[in-house]
Structure 1
Amino acid sequence: MKQLLKLTGCLALAGLMSSCGSVQEEANYQIIPLPQEIVTTQVNPFILKSGVKILYPEGNEKMQRNAKFLAEYLKTATGRDFSIEAGTEGKNAIVLALGSEVENPEAYQLKVTDQGVTITAPTEAGVFYGIQTLRKSLPIAQGADVALPAVEIKDAPRFGYRGAHFDVSRHFFTIDEVKTYIDMLTLHNMNRLHWHITDDQGWRLEIKKYPKLTEIGSQRSGTVIGRNSGEYDNTPYGGFYTQEQAKEIVDYAAERYITVIPEIDLPGHMLAALTAYPELGCTGGPYEVWRQWGVADDVLCAGNDQVLKFIEDVYSELIDIFPSEYIHVGGDECPKVRWEKCPKCQARIKALGLKSDKNHSKEERLQSFVINHIEKFLNDHGRQIIGWDEILEGGLAPNATVMSWRGESGGIEAAKQKHDVIMTPNTYLYFDYYQAKDTENEPFGIGGYLPIERVYSYEPMPASLTPEEQQYIKGVQANLWTEYIATFSHAQYMVLPRWAALCEVQWSTPDKKNYEDFLSRLPRLIKWYDAEGYNYAKHVFDVKAEFNPNPADGTLDIILSTIDNAPVHYTLDGTEPTSASPVYDGVLKVKENVDFSAIAIRPTGNSRVVSEKINFSKSSMKPIVANQPVNKQYEFKGVTTLVDGLKGNGNYKTGRWIAFRGNDMDVTIDFKQPTEISSVAISTCVEKGDWVFDAREFSVEVSDDGTNFKKVASENYPAMKETDKNGIYDHKLTFTPVTAQYVKVIASPEKSIPEWHGGKNYPGFLFVDEITVN
């Protein structure tokens, strides 16, 4: 009887124990991206252990390869080898099968019973995505058996185009590194690699008819230090892929159901090509492969027939290497200054009868001529073009697909014109932007601020489009430009785990998306990053700190949390918190100057310290209203940002600054009682290249009743010069002490950007932070 009870007990614990003496791990289907439908069934789990076979349809090479991939994934998770055999059914097996009535070719069904696992799909690609779901559901548990709970999963992607971009022109990456990038795409259910292989700073692909493109164009004599500082390292830099190596990459990706879309950018971003073949430019050179970042004025000469022959020759070789339907032609950031003065270009404009109008200049229409020319060439060879949204300027090529990067407006306009669109707005999907506000402790980057939460919040279907127009939104892509990313480890750090948020935007329907739920699933995916040896950013494990001004109590309320509810310790005196520091257990209400720091303490290691200097003045945490609008794009938390006791750093996109454009910053602060004041200070953040300028005027008015105001101080500032530095500017007005309950603070933005600037005559942005009243 005792033996029978012991046996019964072991059977009852089958989901937890692989035998009566060893602990068993359990799979979890709450993965990223979350499958569309998960239905658990009330039968015993399937035990993944030694002896389980992987079966595939005999004679199907793709399915045999799928089976090999699955065996590799299982070995990474469990440390065990699993045999692969041809077959269509069997117990104690994982069966990979074709056959489904689902229309979506990438859909799949995954069924687990106590007898085994079956993954069925209409195509081999669909089976592959089912394999990824099984893979990500597994714990990383070397040597353990794994219990797979009985389940039926039905899943399909929302978008057919799920892409990521990789710039190998600004910095070069090896064949093995590009392959690892492809493996990373695989883990995130992506199916397009947009490979940016030429630019002003380097030509990276062998073109046999034009050998100087790589002999000369792939090498630069040095690289700028910092952000176009004018100083250079003078270290020769280069590298390129032979056509055979490029084909190797294409094949490697195709085995994983990923299409490589090459981009050779034209007619701009061509300085490397012009250095190799100066006769292709408007001036004839000499040119130099660019050592700095940005947009070069020298571009292909659109009036030169030899240029049209050159691009046809280059693209002829390109389409022999890359079988993708789409070929990316760039079309972005092409200055027209050379064309405006070039006799050949102006002759071409005249011959074509191109005219300027209120929408487009004749030079923009000349660019459309070039894009239309290469589109016809590619269409004649059975291919389609994709271009950045600038190809809308001057008129869109007939069959072009638009990649909308300057926000969403280009994609919206293209969809309304019935052109296919890939959404890749820089405001959500540029992963060269910083992912933390504390940029001093981040790898050097281009700027901006794009945390994983903002990536996850992106909805690719613009509400301004009709349902019919939305059908033209074909996919979503994130971009990685590598001006400031010199190593592959850094590249991985910038995309992971933001790709996790991206892939759920690409795969999941909006009703299946929930950020807090996503965060709860993310640690399991990150264990796969560790298992595969990927470098990744760990910000999601840091303490999340919310700082909320509370005018009713006159306090700054601090709310702390972590992704996994790890204990948080904090200090208020500037010292670094330890396990001996106070434990956060509720809202911290701060009403005086403090140096706040917090840390999450875990057995696996501590998080980074989050720190803030909180400085109170007489305006801090007081009621404040805006009398003129805050710029919607950069409104963040609104005007309370100006009195929250927290100062912004040199990055205007962190949410610590708010912006005004086209009207003044005009706010009124209510001290709630008569208060003596004698100074008011503000800070502005300047980034001239982004049209962000300093204030032109600053004034202070006071009132006893909130209606009748008297000006007590003002100051005007000159228009900024090209040589003025970017960064933070402090302005302070001091005056004879006055007593008032209300103070109005007004700062005027640059109403007309100076002539020396590319945005001349347009209004500039004014970014303002803390208003300090004493």
Structure 2
Amino acid sequence: MRTLNKTLNGSRALALLMALMAPVAPLTVARAAPAQPAASAVPADVASGARLQLRWELQRNEFAAQGPGARTQARLILTNRDTRPLPPQGWSLYFNSMDGVTPGALPGNLVLEQVAGSYFRVRPDANFAGLAPGQTLDIVYYHPDIVIKLGKAPVGPYLVYDAAPDVGVAIKDYALLPVTRPEQTDKGNTGHRPLVTPADTYRANLHADTLPASAVPPVFPTPLKLEQGAGTLAVKALPAIAAPAALRNEAALARSLFPADLPAGGPPLRLSVGQVAGQDSPEAYTLAVRSTGIDIVGNSAAGVSYGLQTLRDLLPLPSAADLALPEVSITDAPRFGYRGFMLDVSRNFQNKETVFKWLDLMARFKMNKFHFHLTEDEGWRLEIAGLPELTSIGAVRGHSAKPGVRLQPAYGSGPDPQDPHGSGYYSRADYIAILRYAAARHIEVIPELEMPGHARAAVQAMEARYHRLKAAGSKEAAKYLLNDFADKSVYKSPQLYTDHVLNPGLESSYTFVEHVVDEVVKLHRAAGVPLHTLYMGGDELPNGAWEGSPAAHAMMQKHKLATTADLWDYFYDRVDGMLRKRGLFMSGWEEIAARKTMLAGRHKLIPNPRFTQRGFSAYVWNNTEGAEDLAYRLANAGYDIVLAPVTKMYMDMAYNPNPEEPGVNWGDYIELDTVYDFIPFDYLKNASDAQRLGKDGLTDYGKGKVRGLEATIFTETLREPASVEYLVMPRLLAVAERAWAADPAWATEADKTKAAALHRTAWSGFVNALGGRVLPRLDLDGVDVAYRIAPPGLLVEGGRVLVNHVLPGFTLRYTTDGSDPTSASRPVTGPIAERGVIKVAAFDRKGRAGLVARVEHVEHVEDD
């Protein structure tokens, strides 16, 4: 028999992907976005975009005759389902395509044009014949690089007629066709990884053992010290909680851990703040469960809160018949003081309730820093007093024929300015509520104001403000202007923008930054929540920015700056001064601590000597293409570092190369074990000698500069909250383990054979805890997290189909007739001997099915 060369059933996987990308009914945002002009403005005798059908197909990958170059031929299949024609002239089909498409003349008398960034349109040329009712048009075009992930397909398509240029009508009947044929999945000599088969998955899952319940680690993340007693504490009544007034939030958390319908009179549960012997961390705690009751002592209220989360983990699952706790004594403290999660709400907006949900999940798994990515090219998401355009324009995406009305569509937001993920922002009251919600859970909110690159939303909003006030004759029109109108710089960002950079040659740029900083400080003061740092961006300033700006050159001449790299230093020197004046320290991406230079004709980042003593905190994402040791070099040079390597901690990276698996792949593919295997102080340990050659390790001094770890999720391909949850969970749990627990024994063992054995033991404990207790508790507690349930592994061997799963504890169900398994399908109890099209899926405790794996099991043919 032949195992199909794909992990997932194509139709089911495509349905999943489209569900993750699909729009939903508009939600109320903090301020209503401007309404579209009435659709009646569209001419009555032409086809409506609402009655067009559109399909996207990856046709084939094409490869250069020499070298690794490749491109993808694709087509949009446009069918006119209306009773009226799509006319020969006077219309445009708009869409976004991440990483771009190749513009120019197309077959069929069409033209493909880049509007700006990832925003494109197809329009007819003078010889186009029109599209009659019932007819289909193939729009064949090219992606400049090979398409591996379906996230690069066009999104948010809509139709606009020249006669009604402000009216965009979404094409809602839009779908992606499966990618299954050899010419679609062929990767030639590009070096891209092959597809993952069910047999590959089966073999990978063999790296762990299924453990009996008694052998599964009882607490997650792994505590510093745990001693188990011989008995149990039966909880047949609600514990009597004793806590001082200062621990009222923790007392409320304690009450929530137990069923509300229990009678009163249970064992004592005592909460207190006191000194945890031998532990300096303010987050340290002790937890003692004895036959006489429960005691939790923390070095601070945060420590008490973490002790309660550990108590939650010790409780039996809500489905258990008896409520009893094992006698145990735990002393615990985190390895790192920084255990972070970054949520991007700018590419695609997420409402306040979604943020609350993530804060609850962070608290549950002892993570304490919420990096709030609030501003980007495609959205400014925080209300700033005195600058209404930041949200009336910078927080709204949708179609407009005129500049300065709103931002262009992006990432599937389409033409409607009421789209709940393209448009939206947090009012001042929303942000204050988020700050207080986080503080109650001992989570610090670190707001990010992205600059000087990735600033298009702010640049366009302040330009619109300028034009409005200038037309009104105001002398303050240019007060907050961020772009030099005479700038002739030639550059392009990774997101294909050529107009998205704040200009440090303008005094108005600094006026803007200072005003925004002051307003954010006021918001934290109003919330009663201290602000310690502002995250001031620094990411991906494209080469060439500012080079053609008269304002930038004038500023350089005034301050005797030789290069734009010096202008960068000048900008951050002034911004740092603003923060220090307000008692804040500077945080940002790695570039705030780095200096651009050239080595052998290539751009290279080196530690910037100018700011090593300023207390900058640099978050290092780049561990690729020669920068594998950049984080260590910056730490060794004296910068405080947060490790957020793209190949380990970027949750928007797809799990694997299969096209239908959601996520992006520009950095790497990240499976659960990829995150788990991260060794913070020696993440090149398992690299080859060639990869380690010339790379710096972390000095003892540098180790002291590593503040901790951060998982990040950027939302270019993620609109719905469930799609974010799918990519983040359960990988975030591996980040939580690495950030809280000390290095496992396998990470420091020099002998490779011993290290492998130690790794198997530890990995088995981790996946059994997740599959048997941690994730089921989320299901049964009603948290409603749409975490990824991986496809099972399938291997045909000895006339049987062998089945396993990365997370022991999930119920596996199968069918033999080619239909997808349901919660009523037969459970897998051992090897499957039946013949036919075998499909298997894992199910959570609520009966939710995971991804489906498929093999054809045919008589007398055995081939994996």
TM-score grouping bracket, smaller chain normalisation: 0.5 to 0.7
Which residue, 88, 99, 102 being the options, matches 2:274?
99
Which amino acid is the alignment partner of residue 723 of structure 2? H
Distance of aligned partners of 1:561 and 1:217 in 2 relative to their CA distance in 1, 3 Å threshold: closer
Distance 1:475 1:413 in 2: 16
Pair 1:273–1:180, CA change in 2 (3 A): same
Q: 1:403 aligns to what? A: 619
Pairing 1:527-566 to 2, within 5 Å after superposition: 527-530=776-779, 531-540=781-790, 542-544=791-793, 560-561=804-805, 563-564=807-808
- 2:744 maps to 511
Report the 3-state secondary structure (helix = DSSP H, G, I; strand = E; otherwise coil) of the residue aligned with 2:272.
Answer: strand
Of the candidates 242, 264, 267, which is equivalent to residue 449 of structure 2? 264
Give 1:170 shift: 1.5
1:154 aligns with 2:331: yes
Structure 2 vs 1, CA of residues 121 and 533 (structure 1 numbering), >3 Å: closer, same or farther? closer
Cα offset, 1:163, TM superposition: 0.6
> Pairwise CA RMSD of aligned residues?
4.0
Describe how 1:232-631 pairs up with structure 2 within 5 A. Answer: 232-236=414-418, 237-278=422-463, 279-283=481-485, 295-322=497-524, 323-355=530-562, 362-391=563-592, 392-394=594-596, 395=608, 397=611, 398-407=614-623, 408-440=628-660, 442=662, 449-462=669-682, 464-511=697-744, 514-523=762-771, 524-530=773-779, 531-540=781-790, 542-544=791-793, 560-561=804-805, 563-564=807-808, 585=831, 598-599=840-841, 608-611=851-854
The answer to whether the 8 A contact 2:663-2:727 is kept is no
Native 8 Å contact 2:315 2:324 kept in 1: no
Deviation of 1:602 (Å): 9.2
Q: Is the 8 A contact 2:381 2:395 kept in 1?
A: yes
Q: Report deviation, 1:183.
A: 0.7
Asked if 1:35 corresponds to 2:226, the answer is no
> Is the contact made by 1:105 and 1:122 (CA closer than 8 Å) also made in structure 2?
yes
Distance 1:204 1:610, change over 3 A: same
| Partner-residue secondary structure (3-state), 1:341 | coil
Q: Tell me if structure 2 keeps the 8 A contact 1:96–1:118.
A: yes
CA distance in 1, matches of 2:233, 2:622: 49
Comparing 211-220 and 263-272, the one that deviates more: 211-220
Matched-pair identity in %:
28
Give the distance between the partners of 1:336 and 1:285, measured in 2 at CA: 15
Q: Which amino acid aligns with 1:261?
A: I
Task: State whether residues 365 and 733 of structure 2, in contact with CA within 8 Å, keep that contact through their aligned partners in structure 1.
Answer: yes
Aligned to 1:738: none
SS of the residue 1:399 aligns to: coil
Normalised by the size of structure 2, how large is the TM-score?
0.58
Deviation sequence 1:72-126 (CA, Å, 0-9, x none): 1223xx754768xxxxxxx920111221232111111111111100011211110
Q: Distance in 1 between matches of 2:426 and 2:379?
A: 12
**Residues 252-261 or 134-143, more deviating:** 134-143
Question: What amino acid does structure 2 have at the position aligned with 1:268?
Answer: G
Q: Is the 8 A contact 1:94 1:117 kept in 2?
A: yes
**d(CA) in 2 for partners of 1:133, 1:177:** 24
TM-score by length of 1: 0.65
In 2 relative to 1, CA 209–525 (structure 1 residues): closer, same or farther, beyond 3 Å? same
The structure-2 alpha-carbon separation of the partners of 1:482 and 1:346, relative to structure 1 and needing over 3 Å to count, comes to same
Q: Secondary structure at the match of 2:807?
A: coil
Select between 326-335 and 601-610 the one with higher mean Cα deviation: 601-610
Q: Distance in 1 between matches of 2:306 and 2:811?
A: 37
Shift in Å, 1:563: 2.8
Contact preservation (8 Å) 1:389, 1:404: yes
SS in 2 for 1:525: helix
Question: 1:316 deviation in Å?
Answer: 1.4
TM-fit CA distance, 1:363: 1.7
In structure 2, how many angstroms separate the alpha carbons of the residues matched to 1:596 and 1:145? 38
Q: What amino acid does structure 2 have at the position aligned with 1:352?
A: H
Secondary structure of the corresponding residue to residue 708 of structure 2: strand
Q: Secondary structure at the match of 1:300?
A: coil
Query: Residues 426 and 50 (structure 1 numbering): CA distance in 2 closer, same or farther, change over 3 Å?
Result: same
Instruction: Report how far residue 445 of structure 1 moved.
Output: 9.1
Superposed, which structure 2 residues align to 1:127-142 within 5 Å?
A: 127-141=304-318
* Greater gyration radius: 1
Question: Structure 2: which 5+ residue stretches go unaligned?
Answer: 1-212, 400-406, 464-480, 525-529, 597-607, 686-696, 746-758, 858-862
**How far is the alpha carbon of 1:47 from its aligned partner?**
1.5
CA shift, 1:546, in A, is 7.8
User: Is 1:163 matched up with 2:383?
Assistant: no
Q: CA deviation at 1:417?
A: 0.9
Partners of 1:199 and 1:33 lie apart in 2 by: 33
Deviations 1:240-288 (A, max 9, x none): 22223211111110111000000001111111111121232022799xx
Query: CA 1:308 to 1:603, structure 2 compared with 1: closer, same or farther past 3 Å?
Result: closer
Q: Residues of 1 paired with 2:355 and 2:460: CA distance?
A: 27
Query: Following the alignment from structure 2 to structure 1, what is the Cα–Cα distance between the partners of residues 577 and 378?
Result: 28
Residues 162 and 40 of structure 1, relative CA distance in 2, 3 Å threshold: same
Q: Cα–Cα, structure 1 residues 47 and 319, in superposed 2: closer, same or farther, change >3 Å?
A: same
- Rounded to whole Å, the distance in 1 between the matches of 2:331 and 2:795 is 38
Contact 2:226 2:328 in 1 (8 A): yes
Alpha-carbon displacement from aligned partner over 1:127-170 (angstroms, at most 9, x marks no partner): 11000000122123369541111111111111000010111112
Alignment partner, residue 471 of structure 2: none
Counting matched residue pairs gives: 559
1:46 aligns with 2:248: no
Match of 1:123 in 2: 300
Mapped to 2, the partners of 1:603 and 1:316 lie a distance apart of: 48
SS in 1 for 2:426: coil
Q: Decide whether the 8 Å contact of 2:254 with 2:308 is kept in 1.
A: yes
Are the equivalent residues in 2 in contact too, given 1:571–1:582 (CA < 8 A)?
Answer: no
Q: Which amino acid aligns with 1:403?
A: Y
Secondary structure class of the residue paired with 2:313: helix
The alpha-carbon distance between structure 1 residues 485 and 107, as it changes in their structure 2 partners (threshold 3 A), is same
Q: Distance in 1 between matches of 2:705 and 2:583?
A: 21
Cα shift at 1:317: 1.3
Query: Residue 113 of structure 1 contacts residue 151 of structure 1 at CA under 8 Å; is this kept in 2?
Result: yes
> CA, structure 1 residues 487+602, in 2 after alignment: closer, same or farther (shift >3 Å)?
closer
Query: Structure 1 residues 112 and 372, CA, compared in 2 at 3 Å: closer, same or farther?
Result: same
Q: 1:571 to 1:493 in 2, by over 3 A?
A: closer
Give the deviation of 1:205 after TM superposition.
Answer: 1.1
What's the CA shift for 1:519? 0.5
* 1:403–1:252 CA distance, 2 compared to 1 (3 A): same
Amino acid at match of 2:355: V
Q: Is the 2:647–2:668 Cα contact (8 Å) retained in structure 1? A: no
The answer to whether the 8 A contact 1:567-1:584 is kept is no
Deviation for aligned residue 1:311: 0.7
Contact 1:302 1:370 in 2 (8 A): yes
1:502 alignment partner AA: V
Structure 1: where are the runs of 5+ without partners? 1-24, 84-90, 356-361, 588-593, 615-644, 647-774
